[in-house]
């Protein structure tokens, strides 16, 4: 079998793929069809939160699919209800939850909630949503338009929905708000925008101002949520309670699931929104297991120790290679190193793969790290050793 030929002949070529053929994984280590091992500092772009081949997740999935995989949302689904309850508890404030299949879908649902809020809560309809430059909110028509990067707004897919405007900074939001503004949507750490966290006080001031003006705050935690920052919600680190939060990526540990959390539990009613697959038995049972694993890791102190150790290794690497690296950024295990230019970044990513360690590119010439939250000290050491070899060889 020639995987590359089959892929190119039958799969739509929307990705610039590397044609390695991974066959199995164990925690933060992947193995290809030639038995070469790779340390995974990407976790499938922040998805495989509890590692590859996690036995507890695999057992939970197997046990569930032996009985029921799917019945549709026309019926109550026990693990879905339990997962919503668990998310409510971990969020730390009262939210209702809707389950989707992806982060983009979760963000679409969040936009719909905001639009209904703007239509039903005010005498004059409010519908405009403000986002930020360098943001990323998804690939659907609406979430692409909400994304504050013009490179995603291709004329091929125009016209886009009205009512979205993006601005350069948090301060610009205040000047952009008008009588038709219903919500502000942002990431607390911009993943595609250089793994850049916003200032805590600046976000708190914005949240307070929006609440005063009865404008919704939507926080996209598709990448930052589910303990990626060290807390279940990065919003907790910022000491804010958004009106709407979106989750996906690490929630299912590898199975596709998204979630919308909202304070406004009464707003959506029967028929307003839906999903055929969203929140079915399979994905919610897997997600419950993922949250059990990560909650225990947090309570036991293991997650915090891993974050501290990974941070130490990052800073040591950046300090040693000042000719190529400018500074370390990010929070928790959503991290980045600013590289001197895009050409050097590309070389590091490519050579790292050759050395057996997987890393990611991000905007603003940033080398991005999203390892499994269960990564071991041994795997971290091996990964940084290989990364250093890659840097030496470019």
**pLDDT score at 234:** 98
* Cα distances (Å, whole numbers) of residue 218 to 52, 162, 276, 355: 31, 18, 24, 40
Instruction: State the chain's mean pLDDT as an integer.
Output: 98
Reduce the secondary structure of 210-238 to three states and give it as a string.
Answer: HHHCCCEEEEECCCCCCCCCCCCCHHHHC
Give the fold, CATH level 3, of 58-299.
Answer: 3.40.640
Beta strands in 33-180 (DSSP E): 37-40, 96-100, 128-132, 164-167
For helices 281-300 and 78-91, give the axis angle rounded to 10 degrees.
30
Identify the band that residue 1 occupies on the pLDDT scale cut at 50, 70 and 90. confident
**pLDDT score at 74:** 97
What integer is the mean pLDDT of 82-98?
Answer: 98
For the cut 80, the answer to whether the pLDDT of residue 180 exceeds it is yes
Burial 60-71 (b: 16+ CB within 10 A, else e): bbeebeeeeeee
- β-pairing, 181-186 vs 216-220, is parallel
In the DSSP assignment, the letter for residue 160 is: P
Reduce the secondary structure of 301-360 to three states and give it as a string.
Answer: CHHHHHHHHHHHHHHHHHHHCCCCEEEEEEECCEEEEEECCHHHHHHHHHHHHHHCEECE
Q: Confirm whether 3-53+300-392 and 58-299 share one CATH topology.
A: no
pTM for the structure as a whole: 0.97
3-state helix, strand, coil in the chain (%, to 5): 40, 20, 40
What integer is the mean pLDDT of 223-238?
Answer: 98
What integer is the mean pLDDT of 130-158?
Answer: 97
The residue extents of the domains of the chain are 3-53+300-392, 58-299
Identify the band that residue 321 occupies on the pLDDT scale cut at 50, 70 and 90. very high
**pLDDT score at 197:** 98
What integer is the mean pLDDT of 47-51?
Answer: 98
> Is 46 exposed, middle or buried (CB count within 10 Å of its CB: 0-12, 13-18, 19+)?
buried
Partner residues linked to 362 by β-bridges:
366
What integer is the mean pLDDT of 58-85?
Answer: 98
What integer is the mean pLDDT of 363-389?
Answer: 98
Give the fold, CATH level 3, of 3-53+300-392.
Answer: 3.90.1150
- Give the CA count within 13 Å in the CB-facing half-sphere of 244: 29
Helices (H), 1-102: 3-10, 43-46, 55-65, 78-91
**pLDDT score at 8:** 97
What integer is the mean pLDDT of 264-281?
Answer: 97
Report the alpha-carbon distance of residue 187 to residue 132 in Å, rounded.
9
């Amino acid at each position: 079998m020639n995987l590359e030929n089959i892929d190119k002949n039958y799969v739509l070529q929307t990705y610039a793929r590397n044609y390695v053929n991974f066959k199995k994984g164990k925690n933060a280590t992947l193995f290809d069809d030639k038995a070469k091992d790779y340390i995974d500092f990407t976790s499938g772009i922040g998805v495989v939160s509890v590692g590859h081949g996690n036995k507890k997740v695999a057992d939970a999935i197997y046990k569930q699919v032996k009985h029921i995989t799917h019945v549709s949302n026309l019926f109550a689904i026990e693990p879905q209800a339990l997962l919503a309850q668990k998310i409510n508890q971990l969020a730390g404030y009262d939210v209702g939850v809707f389950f989707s299949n992806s982060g983009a879908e979760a963000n679409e649902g969040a936009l719909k909630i905001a639009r209904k809020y703007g239509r039903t809560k005010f005498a004059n309809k409010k519908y405009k949503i403000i986002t930020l430059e360098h943001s990323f909110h998804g690939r659907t028509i609406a979430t692409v338009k909400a994304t504050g990067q013009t490179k995603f707004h291709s004329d091929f897919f125009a016209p886009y929905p009205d009512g979205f405007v993006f601005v350069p900074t948090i301060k610009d939001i205040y000047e952009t708000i008008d009588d038709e503004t219903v919500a502000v949507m942002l990431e607390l750490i911009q993943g595609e925008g250089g793994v850049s966290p916003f200032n805590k006080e600046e976000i708190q001031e914005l949240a307070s101002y929006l609440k005063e003006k009865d404008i919704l705050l939507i926080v996209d935690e598709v990448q930052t949520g589910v303990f990626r920052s060290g807390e279940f919600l990065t919003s907790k680190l910022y000491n804010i309670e958004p009106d709407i939060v979106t989750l996906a990526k690490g929630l299912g540990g590898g199975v596709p699931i998204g979630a919308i959390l909202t304070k406004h539990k009464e707003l959506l009613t029967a028929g307003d929104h839906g999903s055929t697959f969203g929140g079915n038995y399979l994905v919610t049972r897997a997600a419950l297991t993922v949250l059990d694993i990560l909650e225990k890791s947090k309570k036991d102190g293991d997650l915090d120790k891993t974050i501290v150790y990974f941070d130490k290794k990052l800073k040591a690497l950046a300090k040693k290679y000042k000719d190529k690296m400018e500074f370390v950024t990010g929070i928790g295990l959503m991290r980045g190193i600013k590289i001197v230019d895009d050409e050097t970044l590309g070389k590091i990513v490519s050579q790292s793969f050759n050395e057996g360690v997987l890393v990611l590119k991000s905007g603003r010439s940033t080398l991005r790290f999203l390892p499994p939250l269960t990564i071991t000290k041994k795997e971290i050491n091996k990964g940084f050793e290989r990364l250093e070899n890659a840097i030496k060889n470019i």
